[in-house]
Amino acid sequence: MTHPRQQTLSAARELEGTGLHTGAPARLRLVPADVQTGIRFRRIDLEGSPEIAATVANVVDTDRGTTIGENGHKVHTIEHILSALVAAGVDNVVVELDGPEPPAGDGSARLFTEMIESAGVVEQDAPAKYIEVAESLSVTERDSSYTVSPASGYEVSVSIRFDHPLIGRQFASYEVDRGVYAREIASARTFGFLSEVEALRSRGLGQGGSPRNAILLTDTGLYEDTELRFPDEFARHKVLDVIGDLGLLGARLKANVVALRPSHRGNVALAREILSQHEKRALARPILDIQQILQYLPHRYPFLLVDRVVEYEERKRIIGLKNVTMNEPFFQGHFPGQPIMPGVLIVEAMGQVGGLLLMDSIENPEEKIVYFMALDNVKWRRPVTPGDQIRFEVEVLQIRGRTARMKGVGTVDGHVVAEAEMMARVVDK
């Protein structure tokens, strides 16, 4: 069976509107992106157009919506656009914004889904990343509880209960499929209670909310001329939110998710637990341990900077780990008293991981050596200090004969610490 490929949009698309919680006007533009980019938000209204990766590590707030941030820059209420992208199978895209929050639209993901359908989705030359839940797990976060079990696909089931005549107990369960999502989930709107509006606005929330972008409930029914699109629209919207928040995993999910009274706080806690279990399994079953790495790389202490390899796809991609300890010799002279791993050594470690990717795809590797020829677009994002574990993911951009172009990204706890494009050549010893 052919492994599914990563996907991006065929063309850019734009949308204008007002943010649900900030009330700020914003223009949103979906921009196609290269493989391994993931979903990133770009604040073009700020100096330098900073980008924030849509990852669980970057979540900074979950009060009535999910907010991500890096280096003091934030994007609010990302769950609806993220939900639509995940359901459409879009792995790589840049979401440009000229404000702090995506437009609310009508309070659902319908406009985002229509944007994606209008742009079209195209396959890319890289295998899609998956997180497969191997064994059942449970998470409880305040009033929200979740059970996740192994599955060959992705399904989300939600149960909610509100003491209101139009809601009561509701249950919704759907396969996360592009067609099913567009028909049954995308148009389900967010909802709130008229009795809570003043309190929310006093906390800076719901500043852009109105009956045009939310279902507003009175004590006994619906506010003014609002009509429900589905009898269980409330539960369907919770499904939409779960899909969006779990999109922060940064990979396609294979699991059966059952959520009881889900919340953004609970959804993010669930994403963290799924990711934690996935990483623990990878660490428990290294593809290459240090003894095997010594057979491939000529480097030795103190210049061997890779401890293990946990994922590998021949001539495609590799994930290697470097555990940074206080005993590293470079800490003795590099910012004594405030130890920081030298940036050039972070890139060196990334290069060694890339070298393993190339060496394991050639004949007689013991007779070969990898020399690096060029570095481009090198960026250091955060300092690396003792106790950190750097996760290097390196993917091949192009191979011609013995020469390869690769892109590497190093992360610590989900935060990008360095990235670079590298060119290397395999030569005889």
Catalytic choice (76, 264, 278, 299): 264
> Does 415 participate in catalysis according to the annotation?
no
The residues, ordered by sequence, that sit 6+ positions from 94 with a Cβ below 8 Å of its Cβ are 30, 31, 33, 37, 40, 41, 42, 51
Beta strands 13-18 and 25-32 are antiparallel
Q: Which of 119, 113, 116, 86 is nearest to 184 (CA)?
A: 113
What DSSP assignment string belongs to 187-239? TPPPEEEGGGHHHHHHTT-STT--TTSSEEE-SSSBSTT---SSTTHHHHHHH
CB distance 314 to 356 below 8 Å = no
> Does 264 participate in catalysis according to the annotation?
yes
CB distance 108 to 32 below 8 Å = no
- Rounded CA-CA distance 58/238 in Å is 22
Three-state DSSP class for 54? coil
Retrieve residue 134's tokens.
Answer: 């191997």
- Rounded CA-CA distance 168/1 in Å is 45
The count of residues in the chain is 429
Catalytic choice (164, 299, 334, 415): 334
Tell me how crowded residue 344 is: count the other CB atoms within 10 A of its CB. 12
CB distance 222 to 166 below 8 Å = yes
The residues, ordered by sequence, that sit 6+ positions from 28 with a Cβ below 8 Å of its Cβ are 14, 15, 16, 17, 81, 95, 96, 97, 102, 103
- Asked if the bond preceding 302 is cis, omega within 30° of 0, the reply is yes
Tell me how crowded residue 395 is: count the other CB atoms within 10 A of its CB. 21
Q: What are phi and psi of 158, to 5 degrees?
A: -130, 140
Write the single-letter amino acid at 48: G
Residues with catalytic annotation? 264, 334
